[in-house]
Chains A and B, each alone.
Chain A
Amino acid sequence: MNPYNANILVVEDDKQIRKFICYLLNGEGFKHTAASTGQGALSILVSEPIDLMLLDLGLPDIDGMEVIRKVREWSDMPIIIVSARDQDKEKATALDLGADDYLTKPFSATELLARIRVALRHLYRQNSGYRAQSVLQVGGLQIDLDKRLLFVDGHETHVTPMEYSLLALFFKNMGKVLTTRQILKEVWGVDYGSDTQALRALMAGLRRKIEENPAKPRYIVTEIGVGYRLVDE
């Protein structure tokens, strides 16, 4: 049931939620460890092999952001934020700091499991040299990174170089939320600033080429106030 044999760390100070998540992970066959404080989480992280962390931002001892910052100093493990804080700014900050995904409480069990799977798949692909693969596919969308070609439902589709590099960025981070800032930095270059309008225009152009209905996107969905995500089904 668990193809990746992952060990998941659950960092959550609320006892009921922690129990519920552990129960859920148990049911899905994941190995898991739980911590109720940030310090506890950090000490587990250095002593146990952890593959993925579910992190609550509102911890009693240290701020969740600090935990992300510390972990990112030495590890690229997927971090999924599970928080009751529903502030776009915090979401974006956490993602910019290197968190992979963000879930706002209350969340559904299905949703949480789906996010965990996406993150693990991403991790697995990285470890198994998926990046070396030149042809990637999501639904009817296929990209050939070597030949710089894009196929929509089997038809070759022409996109501009900018649109291509935007799409390629999403394919390399399949299922992961990319913040506006991260995208601007990757596609336009360092210190491009915060010209989100340019990004919106570019995104609109790309969607018109790959989506059936740009207002009901199937592939690249908008995370309002945070950024975008390429759906990984």
Chain B
Amino acid sequence: MDYSKRKEVGEKWGSPAVSMAWQDQFGVLLSGKVIYGLLLQMLHGRLMRKKTGKKTKAMEHISKMLMRYRSENIKSIICRAGIMVALLMAASAVGYFFRAMELPETDIAIVYLLAVLLTARFTHGYIFNFLAAVIAAFTFNYFFTEPYFTLTVNAPSYIITFIIMFITALITSLLTTHAKQNEMEARKKEAETRALYTLTNRLTDAADINDIAGIATSTISAMLNSNAGCLCFDENGKPEQTFIQQVSPQKQIRREVPDTNALLHRIEGLRTGCDIGSEFYDWPIYGRETTLGIIRVPREAAAVMNESQTRMLRAMIESTALAMDRFRAAQQRIKYHEEIAQERYRGNLLRSISHDLRTPLAGIMGASEMLMNMTPKDDRRYPLMEGIHKDADWLYSLVENILSLTRLQDGKLVLNQEQEAAEEVIGAAIRHISRHHPEYEIAVNAPDELLLVPMDAKLIRQVLINLLDNAVKHAEPEDEIRVAVTKDVDNNCAVFSVRDSGEGIAPADLPDIFQIFYTSRSKHADAHPGIGLGLAICDAAVKAHGGSITARNRLDGPGVEITFTLPLEVNKS
């Protein structure tokens, strides 16, 4: 048989077959096999490239496929195989019908192609497409090419038909599957997005943290079809005592946490995404700064979560964290504003008290002073005027002291610290005292070089005035009152001291003199009952500067020495 004849037969589809030599047939089959092999290799090679080039993506892809196959039960596989077989059988039946009608084999081949395409449409997975394509090619060969019911062919051109048929079937089915998969992915994505969107939407309307937790719990429970829970942490990052758990689609309960500390410890030590406990898998909700809470997924549900569910869970936790963070931030803002308003109110109150007291006191003091100036000292009315003036003056200093102490003691006083010359502050204090008690001589020891100390000059001046006032109160005009300031290089601080040579302090009083409202128990108390604010203010002011204050009786003679230090470097904390 010559080549031209063979060609002729090949061209004439469905014509009586001419027997091919066995060797020839084998050779063609071999070459077909070679092409099959090449095809397979190409496919494989593509996979391999994918693997190396986009390793993570390919791995993900494969693992996804594997996951899918594993998760689907055998029933569905059998079902799909059934569909495939049925379709191919139907195609064969149609093929017989076509042959009976003496239609050419090409039509039959196209019917097979249709069957493969439908298989791709109604089943999913590349394996079935591939199988369908192979089976279709072989079935067509077996039933409809001469010799019938064998896998051999008479005309070598059929080999080409098979191959083209196979490739066409494979490509079309792959395309269909791919499109279908894309669609499925898109649907899944859409469902996920919608679920997340709904969650976010609901979270926006939440009234408080517990509301957020409740919404997150119900949404996550619905997604996992399980009874998830949510444990909130408070502002300090400590877990609450109870957590919310879904018990039915409509009902949530609060359950006690057996050991919050142990739980917190486990969460803090967490390196992976979740902590596996005896009842729950605990997924922490991480906020911007702290852990905001825990999402608790029951063990049995968490163990069988597939990859997309895990992804969803993570996304939902993320949304919850955002909502909680936002809520916390809003809360903090409100609190901050309230504090500011309160602070302003307080400031205004203090200011108006001091203003409203000062003005009438100024009137009383000014008028009484003027009356005194107009009255000869031996007039019997003079002491009365003097009494009015002194009492008004005392009342004034009391008001001042109360105001300073209030400012100092609530710890919110912002020190107006600047580098000030120690000598200037001492000078200003002495000037103040000298104005009120010109009969007292106050000595000063200050270093030759300028000593700059960071301080709130007005406060420290007040400290010195209070100390000097005390000294003046307990000493006679001829007694020595001395203010000194030195630099303590070792402790990097300035040391101020005020000493008098008055009667001193009773040892029993010494430990308490800086206490608020403490006045000396000695009978020598001042004509005015001092209410013991002066030294308390000194104590508070010096401590606000980070210094210390001590009082002791002088060893070198009578009198008291009160010493306080101010650090030369401002402590930023």
Give min CB distance, B439 to chain A, whole Å.
Answer: 16
Assuming the A-B contacts A201-B450, A225-B457, A225-B458, are A24 and B425 also in contact, with contact meaning beta carbons closer than 8 angstroms in the complex?
Answer: no
What total of chain A residues lie within 8 Å of the partner, measured CB to CB? 41
Chain A, residue nearest B485 (CB): A215
Which residues of chain A have C-beta atoms less than 8 A from B423's C-beta?
204, 207, 214-215
Report the Cα distance A58→B425, complex, angstroms: 28
Q: Please, which residue of chain B has its CB at the minimum distance from the CB of A197?
A: B419
The listed residue (B351, B365, B420, B458) touching A108 by CB distance below 8 A is: B365
Known: A27-B370, A215-B446. A105 touches B362 (CB 8 A): yes
Instruction: Identify the stretch in A63-71, A84-92, A167-175, A184-192 within 8 Å (CB) of chain B at 4 or more residues.
Output: A84-92
Chain A contacts with B in 52-70, Cβ cutoff 8 A: 58
Say yes or no: A222 contacts B450, CB within 8 Å: no
Q: At the interface, yes or no: B299 with Cβ under 8 Å from chain A?
A: no
Residue on A with the closest CB to B371? A109
Q: Is B391 an interface residue (CB 8 A)?
A: no
Q: Does B360 contact A (CB under 8 A)?
A: yes
B68 on the A face (CB < 8 A) = no
A4 → B minimal CB distance (Å): 21
- List of B residues within 8 angstroms of A205 by Cβ: 450
Neighbouring B residues of A16 by C-beta, 8 Å: 360, 363, 367
A104 to B365, CA, bound (A): 13
The interface stretch among B246-254, B280-288, B301-309, B427-435 is B427-435
Q: Which of chain B's residues 475-534 have a Cβ closer than 8 Å to chain A?
A: 483, 485
B367 touches A20 (CB 8 A): yes
CA separation between A27 and B430, bound complex, in Å? 31
Contact partner of B366 among A84, A108, A222, CB < 8 A? A108
Q: Which residues of the other chain, B, contact A86 by a CB distance below 8 angstroms?
A: 354, 358
How many residues does chain B have at the interface if contact means C-beta atoms less than 8 Å apart? Answer: 45
Give the most central of B366, B393, B396, B442: most A CB within 10 Å.
Answer: B366
**Cβ contact of A203, chosen from B392, B421, B442, cutoff 8 A:** B421
Q: Is the CB of A58 within 8 A of B355?
A: yes
Tell me whether B426 and A215 are in contact (CB under 8 A). Answer: yes
Q: A76 interface residue, CB < 8 Å from B?
A: no
CB under 8 Å from chain A, chain B span 313-365 = 351, 354-355, 358-365
Assuming A24-B370, A105-B359, A215-B444, is B424 touching A224 (CB within 8 A)? yes
- Residue of B354, B361, B423 contacting most chain A CB atoms (<10 Å): B423
Tell me the minimal C-beta distance from A154 to chain B in angstroms: 24
Residues of A within 8 A of B446 (CB): 213-215
Task: Please indicate the chain B residues that have their CB under 8 angstroms from the CB of A225 in the complex.
Answer: 416, 457-458
Contacts of B458 in A (CB 8 A): 88, 224-225
B418 pairs with A224, CB closer than 8 A: no
Bound-complex Cα distance A180 to B406 (A) = 29
B444 touches A84 (CB 8 A): no
Write the nearest CB–CB distance from A199 to chain B, whole angstroms: 10
Which residue of A has the minimal Cβ distance to B444?
Answer: A215
Taken together as a complex, chains A and B put the C-alpha atoms of A201 and B554 apart, in Å, by 34
Chain B proximity of A29: nearest CB distance (Å)? 14
Chain B residues closer than 8 Å to A216, beta-carbon distance: 427, 430, 442, 444
Asked if A107 lies at the interface with its beta carbon under 8 angstroms from chain B, I say yes
B369 contacts the other chain (CB 8 A): yes
Inter-subunit contact B427/A222 (CB<8 Å): yes
Chain B 438-453: CB-based contact to A (< 8 A → 1; otherwise 0): 0000101010101010
Q: Are A222 and B424 in contact (CB under 8 A)?
A: yes
Interface 0/1 of A204-218, CB less than 8 Å to B: 110110000111110
Q: Output the nearest chain A residue to B430 by Cβ-Cβ distance.
A: A216
Residues of chain A contacted by B425 (CB below 8 angstroms): 222, 224
Q: Does A196 touch B at the CB level, under 8 Å?
A: yes
Chain B CB within 10 Å, residue with most, of A88, A197, A213, A216: A216
Neighbouring B residues of A162 by C-beta, 8 Å: none
Q: Bound complex: CA of A30 vs CA of B370, how far in Å?
A: 16
In angstroms, Cα B430 to Cα A105, docked, is: 20
Chain B residues contacting A111 (CB-CB under 8 Å) are 435
Q: Which of A14, A24, A214, A221 contacts B359 (CB 8 A)?
A: A14
| Contact status A84-B418, CB under 8 Å | no
> Is the C-beta of B373 less than 8 angstroms from some C-beta in chain A?
yes
Residue of B with least CB distance to A105: B362
* Chain B, 447-477, CB within 8 A of any chain A CB: 448, 450, 452, 457-458, 461
Nearest A residue to B372 via CB reads A109
Question: Which B residues between 390 and 404 are near A, CB-CB below 8 angstroms?
Answer: 392-393, 396
A17 contacts B by Cβ under 8 Å:
yes
Q: Which residues of A contact B435 (CB under 8 A)?
A: 111
**Inter-chain contact B421/A200, CB cutoff 8 Å:** yes
Q: Is A2's beta carbon under 8 Å from chain B?
A: no
Interface string of A146-164 (1 = CB under 8 A from B): 0000000000000000000
Could you list 10 A-B pairs, sorted by A, with CB under 8 Å? Answer: A17-B362, A106-B361, A108-B366, A109-B366, A197-B419, A203-B424, A204-B421, A204-B423, A221-B431, A224-B457
Give 10 closest A-B pairs by Cβ, nearest first: A106-B362, A105-B362, A16-B363, A204-B450, A215-B423, A215-B444, A84-B358, A222-B424, A215-B446, A106-B365
Give the interface of B toward A (CB within 8 A): 351, 354-355, 358-367, 369-370, 373-374, 392-393, 396, 416, 418-421, 423-428, 430-431, 435, 442, 444, 446, 448, 450, 452, 457-458, 461, 483, 485
